[in-house]
Each structure stands twice: as structure tokens, then as C-alpha cells.
Amino acid sequence: MLERASSLEGRSVTDFVVAKAVEAAVRSIADHERIVLSEQERSAFFAALLSSHKPSTRARNAAKRYKELFQTE
């Protein structure tokens, strides 16, 4: 089956398998990195973005902890 499919695409079996594996990996990563929001969540997200309110102390502390844990130089 792999030989026939690769032949139909004009590739070697190795090239065919590697190309299909890369395509699947790209899809898998995209599926796991995508954030899907409900309409209510989307509205709240954009309202927060457009808000002129400054971040709370709790939010600033959380951002500071995040930077300490995950930012590397």
C-alpha cells in the first residue's frame, strides 16, 4: 500500500512516509496549540483587551512568577 501510494505521488517510500509523518505532526501540534473559546469567553477576552484598567496586584505577581519560571536568557 505504501509503495503504491508513494508511486502515485512520484516519491520514494521513505520520502512519502516522512512527508506524511511531518504533515501529521504539524496538524497535531496545531490542534494542541489552538485555543477555542465560546462566544461568552471570546467576548470577555476582547472586553479585557480593550479595557483601560491596569492589572491588579495579583495579576502582576502572577506575571512576575511566570517570567521567573519560564523565561530563559
Distances (CA, A) of 53 to 2, 32, 46, 48, 50: 58, 31, 13, 8, 9
Look at the chain and report how many structural domains it folds into. 1
pLDDT digits (tens, 9 = 90+) for 12-71: 999 999 999 999 999 999 988 988 899 999 999 999 889 878 888 999 999 999 999 988
Angle at 47 between CA 69 and CA 65, to 5 degrees: 10
Domain that holds residue 30: 2-70
What pTM was estimated for this model as a whole? 0.49
In three-state secondary structure terms, 62 is helix
* pLDDT given at position 73: 62
Max Cα-Cα span within the chain: 62
Q: Are 2 and 17 in contact (CB under 8 A)?
A: yes
* pLDDT given at position 51: 85
